[in-house]
Structure 1
Amino acid sequence: MHIYVLVNAHWHGAWCWDLTATALRRAGHTILTPDRATVEEIRDLVVAQPEPVILVGHSSSGMQISAVAELAPQHVRTLVYIAAFLLPNGVLPPDVMRDDTESVLRDHLVLDNDQLTVSEPEKVLFEDCSPEVASWASAHLVPEPVIPLGGPEVLLTDQNFGRVPRVYIECLNDRALGITTQRRMHAALPCSQVYSLPSGHSPFLSMPDRLAVCLLDLTSQPRS
């Protein structure tokens, strides 16, 4: 059995993983879902585990899991990016989103008192969820500070980050981070495995069992 650490993206919290975590626990695995944690908090959680973990990040948290792998590579079995930012040093999300003609996210970002929210998240983040799930998830979103609090930038190296196997789970119908952008990122930083789901941006809510199948398949992959 394995340990999965599931990291939420901007606006979300640990609640977003509930359905997928249930499916993974049913298979006998240990599931940890830090709530809106910093890179340092995630690192400390990962280091405290008795074996290397499968570290999963969604959307913006892709940058966090990359940083954790740099800081503690021996404690990470596999990095998993779910429609997530997989970026090399010197590249920021706005750099890749600038050319993302498939995304409607920028049209729904709302800046108010130095906080950023998403208008109509049911159409952007949860578009293929049931109306009940989309409404529930939207009600749980919280504003993000325009300038996030956190530690110093972590530079990725081949010796640390580069030695941890990477896996990408594409979301083919994503309206927040277009599939072309997703594929451009994992082509630039190749992954050992790429899965494709016919989902929007939040497969952990719209198709949690199918996402769990992808995550469970990772346990058959050897650690480098």
Structure 2
Amino acid sequence: MHANHTFVLIHARWHGAWCWDRVAARLRHAGHQVHTPDRLGFDRLLELVETQDRPVVLAGHSSSGMTVSALAELAPHRVGLLAYVSAFLLPNGMTPPEISRADPRSILAEHVVLDERTGTMTVSAPEKVLFNACDPADAAFAASKLVPEPAPPPDLPGVELTEAGFGRIPRVYVECLADRALSPIAQRRMYTLLPCRKVYRLPADHAPFLSTPGPLADALAEAATEFAT
């Protein structure tokens, strides 16, 4: 029987903890402990990681890839594995716009809507941009749950990634092959720049927790068993 693990699953911009419900249920059913923090600030996420009774498997989706990298740098002794779920895995000095501008297949930028009155950003036609491989009912549900985000996004703490911190933690990447927001071209560029122990490829859109929740849960559990320290 495989040892169980503690997972901390961090959602991306516009989303909330709800997006992990199906994956978390599968992991819990397999005997794992799972935390799905809902729209917590960075300091509270760091506190959550540091107060677990064992090193965690830290998974980040999309924009929260940068969050999990920073958390790993600041608390490397509390993180046993990093999992990037169609997420920004960026070396020092590289920003998301650099990746996005060089992504010929992403349609996200043309669907981001800025509300200058409120200073927030939303995504138009999310069923087409984010949830294109989901069941239509799931896509409609997810679209209804998205919330506006500040524009520009709040800065993460100025954390420089080091080999002694972030670099010592094994990492895996979950590549989503039908992703229209962060295309496989961009995903591949990032895990080539910062190689991972393993790349899991799913026939998913930008929301694998809805379009392929079983395979995503299986990939995370397998990665934890194989690579978590």
TM-score category by the smaller chain? over 0.9
- Aligned-pair CA distance for 1:147: 2.7
Alignment of 1:80-119 (within 5 A): 80-113=83-116, 114-119=119-124
**Match of residue 40 from structure 1:** 43
TM-score normalised by the chain length of structure 2: 0.95
Match of 1:14 among 14, 17, 20: 17
Distance 1:168 1:18 in 2: 20
Paired position in structure 2 for 1:124: 129
Residues in 1 aligned to 2:160 and 2:58: alpha-carbon distance in whole angstroms = 18
SS at 1:139's partner residue?
helix
Residues 28 and 34 in structure 2, CA contact (< 8 A), matched pair in contact too = yes
Amino acid at match of 1:143: P
- Match of residue 186 from structure 1: 191
Structure-2 residue corresponding to 1:170: 175
Cα distance in 2 between the residues matched to 1:39 and 1:154: 12
Aligned counterpart, 2:72? 69
| Structure 1 Cα separation of the partners of residues 83 and 143 of structure 2 | 24
1:13-55 deviation line (CA, Å, top 9, x unaligned): 0000001111111101011001112222111101100000000
Equivalent in the alignment of 2:143: 138
The amino acid that maps onto 1:36 is: R
Choose which of 3, 7, 11 in structure 1 pairs with 2:6. 3
Whichever residue aligns with residue 72 of structure 2, its letter is A
Aligned length: 224
Q: In the alignment, which residue of structure 2 is the partner of 1:52?
A: 55
C-alpha contact (below 8 Å) 1:39/1:67 kept by paired residues: no
Root-mean-square deviation over aligned CA pairs = 1.1
- Is residue 197 of structure 1 aligned with residue 183 of structure 2? no
Q: What SS class does the counterpart of residue 65 from structure 1 fall into?
A: helix
- Give the counterpart letter for 1:147 in structure 2: P
Task: Indicate the SS of the match to 1:56.
Answer: strand
Q: Which amino acid aligns with 1:201?
A: H
TM-score (norm 1): 0.97
